[in-house]
């Protein structure tokens, strides 16, 4: 059935980009008279560009129409001109989806590179998602000396030193603290001298070149529990007890970590195996610590009558170690308070001088009246 020219130019019906419609378009060009075929070819080429069809299909349509329509017809030259113009537009239009695809590809490649770099960093640093490897984060406790206007609790420092001397000093040293550091902090000068004299220190050489033992003096440092590192390891199944002078500053969490560690000994949960000779403590990295629990209720007898519970002893010895890590804490806060008062006074004085002394001078107006 032959269709009318109006039906043939109904592009919405004839050309939808499918293979079947393309064959029908080619059939219309090859079977109809040259004049009608050329008009249909021009309309179809225009529709191709509007619908952004492929350049290959545009060139194929032009070749078929060019071979079918004689060059003697003026309409044939029109097909050539339309093809050349629309072919360039079709090529330009065909590059837009490719540019969008390239953008997506660049984004995917960039994401892949960033992800691979992150995985390589995690693998190189052996980052573990298991919180047991890092230890349980300790809770924050309201330490008295943490307030900017408070000093150390010196009664707690005295009790803490007693806990260290009777319990902790059997394994841990305090190399950076001398006896004299306790004077007027937790003990009087006479008490410090008496405690120092209880310890024998090697001194010398004497006139004969021999070393000798003498009673301690306030200038001497706290005695070490072991002569050397090898002796310390031999007495603790291969584990080396750390020095406690800077322990509060050396551990993440500070006082909170030490207090939680001393009071955090519990039985290992189901599924967790602890080697023989180790003890389970969730606050210690890895969960297994060589130091056994050492604080029990009533272990020491405080001089001031404070109940010696495990938590009280842990609090006191932690306060003592915080002071040992920062003996200048109280003096620093006092100096800061004095500096704040002095600087505040100087600031007010500067404002006063600026306002009442310099303001009239800076705001005055000098007028020169020449003689007449």
pLDDT digits (tens, 9 = 90+) for 314-347: 999 999 999 999 999 999 999 999 999 999 999 9
The CB density around residue 242, as the number of other CB atoms within 10 Å, is: 15
Give the number of other CB atoms < 10 A from CB of residue 349.
10
Measured in whole angstroms, how far is the alpha carbon of residue 370 from the centre of its chain? 73
Alpha-carbon distance of 269 to 195, in angstroms, equals: 44
The shares of helix, strand and coil residues in the chain, as percent rounded to the nearest 5, are 55, 5, 40
Mean pLDDT of the region 154-176: 97
In whole numbers, what is the pLDDT of the chain averaged over residues? Answer: 81
* DSSP labels, 172-199: ---TT-BGGGGBTTTB-HHHHHHHHHTS
Give 28 or 280, the one with higher predicted confidence.
280
Which residues contact residue 90 at a Cβ distance below 8 angstroms, ignoring those fewer than 6 apart? 48, 49, 52, 53, 54, 55, 58
168 marked as binding residue: yes
Is 122 known to sit in a ligand binding site?
no
- Least-confidence region, from 14-18, 115-119, 276-280: 14-18
- How far apart (Å, rounded) are the C-alpha atoms in residues 195 and 371? 92
Task: Report the C-alpha gap between 90 and 289 in whole angstroms.
Answer: 75
Question: Is 291 labelled as part of a ligand binding site?
Answer: yes
What is the percent of the chain where pLDDT is above 70?
Answer: 70
Distance in angstroms (rounded) separating the CA atoms of residues 297 and 24: 99
Q: At a CB cut-off of 8 Å and minimum separation 6, what does 136 contact?
A: 260, 264, 282, 283
Which token pair is 255?
């006082």
172 is in an annotated binding site: yes
Q: What's the CA gap between 159 and 302, in Å, rounded?
A: 7
**Sign of the torsion formed by the C-alpha atoms of 236, 241, 191 and 159:** negative
């Amino acid at each position: 059935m032959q269709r009318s020219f109006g039906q043939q130019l109904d592009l919405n019906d004839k050309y939808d980009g499918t293979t079947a419609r393309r064959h029908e378009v080619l059939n219309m060009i090859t079977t109809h008279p040259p004049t009608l075929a050329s008009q249909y070819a021009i309309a179809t080429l225009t529709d191709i560009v509007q619908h952004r069809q492929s350049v290959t299909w545009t060139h194929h349509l032009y070749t078929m129409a060019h071979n079918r329509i004689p060059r003697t017809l003026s309409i044939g030259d029109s097909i050539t001109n339309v093809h050349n113009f629309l072919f360039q537009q079709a090529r330009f239009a065909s590059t837009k989806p490719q540019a969008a695809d390239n953008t997506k590809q660049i984004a995917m490649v960039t994401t892949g590179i960033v992800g691979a770099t992150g995985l390589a960093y995690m693998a190189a640093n052996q980052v573990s998602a298991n919180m047991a490897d890092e230890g349980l984060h300790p809770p924050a406790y309201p330490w008295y000396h943490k307030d900017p206007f408070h000093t150390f609790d010196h009664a707690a420092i005295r009790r803490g030193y007693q806990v260290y001397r009777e319990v902790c000093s059997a394994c841990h040293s305090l190399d950076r603290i001398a006896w004299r550091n306790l004077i007027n902090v937790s003990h009087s000068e006479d008490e410090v001298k008496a405690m120092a004299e209880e310890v024998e220190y090697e001194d010398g050489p004497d006139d004969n070149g021999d070393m000798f033992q003498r009673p301690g003096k306030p200038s001497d440092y706290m005695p070490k529990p072991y002569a050397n590192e090898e002796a310390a390891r031999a007495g603790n199944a291969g584990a080396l007890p750390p020095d406690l002078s800077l322990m509060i500053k050396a551990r993440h969490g500070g006082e909170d970590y030490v207090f939680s560690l001393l009071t955090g000994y519990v039985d290992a949960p189901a599924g967790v195996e602890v080697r023989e000779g180790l003890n389970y403590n969730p606050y210690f990295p890895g969960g297994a610590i060589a130091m056994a629990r050492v604080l029990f209720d009533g272990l020491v007898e405080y001089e001031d009558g404070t109940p010696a519970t495990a938590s009280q002893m842990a609090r006191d010895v932690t306060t003592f170690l915080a002071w040992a890590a920062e003996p200048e804490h109280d003096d620093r806060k006092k100096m800061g308070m004095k500096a704040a008062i002095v600087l505040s006074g100087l600031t007010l004085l500067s404002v006063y001088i600026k306002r009442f002394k310099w303001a009239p001078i800076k705001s005055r107006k000098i007028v020169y009246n020449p003689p007449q």
